[in-house]
Amino acid sequence: MELLTINNVWMMICTALVFFMHLGFSFLEIGLTRQKNTINILFKNTFIICVGLLLYCLVGFNLMYPGFAEGSSGIFGFAGFGLDSPQAAEGGLDLAYNEGYTYWTDFLFQGMFAATAATIVSGAVAERVKIGPFMIFTIIYVGVVYPIAGSWKWGAGWLDQLGFYDFAGSTLVHSVGGWAALVAVWLLGSRIGKFKEGKSFAILGHNIPLATAGVLILWLGWFGFNGGSVLSADPALTSLTLVTTSLAAAAGGVSAFIISTLAHKNYDLTMFLNGILGGLVGITAGADQMSPTDAILIGLIAGGIIVAAVALIDKLRLDDPVGAIAVHLICGIWGTLAVGLFGKMAGTTQFLHQLTGVGAYAVFCITTSFIILFILKKTVGIRVSEKEELEGLDAHEHGMDAYPDFRLNER
């Protein structure tokens, strides 16, 4: 019982750290966008965590962990609506429903992950998406799509049976959000003024100190994101996971800032920040499998990927205000494939399993997010009017100003 208590307390601490990440995402997103849309972004992020937890309680948890029967295809299952704690033989609550933590802690920890997928999309579509359709999308994607995708690996579904590995969610969380972000950005179109006469123009964020605080909060939260994914307080494995997580983050940041400095002849803080996040996303799939050297290499490559991916996305005329696609999708793919290249599980067979997983999630997430968003686009519309976009979503959709006593000149 003492070991269960220790493990469960660690898991609850990690749950709190993952919850804290939502503040980090909020700070990063509002910092990298214009002040006239601050209330809108904060509203979306607050809505995501609230509705995400409710949906995960009502349907998501039992969609993600349906208890696939032996011989099942492992593609879809549902264990019923709501939460129902396991009962002990004598009729009392069975707190130790596994060796590491209680049923309730399991639900809450996993529920914090569920909302992250929609948060990734929020950043990519910032400053021009209608909030009503975005909320509808969030309800469907977080409530249904994410848990079904998660069941394929973490719910002992077909990809788990195949041998696909994703320790803490490079694909299951980050790429699931990233694929939807890519589809949403394509369907929405770019912000007014982003692309003119075939050229890309930077639309500067209004509070880079806040964005920096957001990234550092996210780094802290990742100790819970990856550390909690050990699913116990095992000293050796937890310590290793936190070391590899930190080293990859540091290497990603350094790599991105050096490469971007060489390419653009300036010290770009935003590239530095996204490099840190790229390193964190890159190590997430195999944080428990890698040596410190492996983690540094994964982070260094992730930082380079960030610089190249941001340039590629711009060249494709896709407008992603916070770099969510580069960070979460492309580095998520890299981190997933890195499991087959580095560490304990490296090898051709494992790499092919990882590639299969990347492809399966790409098809599922692109298809489902396109169907949801395309229907919304053709019915209620997903983009605000030109006037609303130019004057700001805060005034038009919320009737509020985030900084009523301090205004900046914005284009």
- What are the boundaries of each domain within the chain? 2-71+100-398
Neighbours of 351 (CB within 10 A): 16
49, burial (CB in 10 Å: exposed 0-12, middle 13-18, buried 19+): buried
Mean pLDDT of the chain: 93
If you count them, how many residues does the chain have? Answer: 411
Task: Give the angle subtended at the CA of 18 by the CAs of 209 and 302, to the nearest 5°.
Answer: 65
CB 111 within 8 A of CB 93: no
Quick one: how far is CA 159 from the chain centroid?
Answer: 20
Q: Where are the alpha helices (DSSP H) in 141-234?
A: 146-151, 158-162, 176-188, 208-227
Q: What pLDDT was estimated at residue 92?
A: 46
> Which has the minimum average pLDDT: 22-36, 74-88, 319-333, 355-369?
74-88
Q: What is the pLDDT of residues 356-396, one digit of tens each?
A: 999 999 999 999 999 999 999 999 999 999 999 999 999 99
CATH code for the domain defined by 2-71+100-398: 1.10.3430.10
Q: What is the pLDDT of residues 89-136, one digit of tens each?
A: 444 445 556 667 888 999 999 999 998 888 999 999 999 999 999 999
CA-to-CA dists, residue 60 to 8, 17, 42, 134, 212, angstroms: 22, 21, 24, 19, 32
**Residue 209 backbone dihedrals phi, psi, to 5 degrees:** -55, -40
pLDDT > 90 fraction of the chain, expressed in percent and rounded? 86
The yes-or-no verdict on residue 409 having pLDDT over 60 is: no
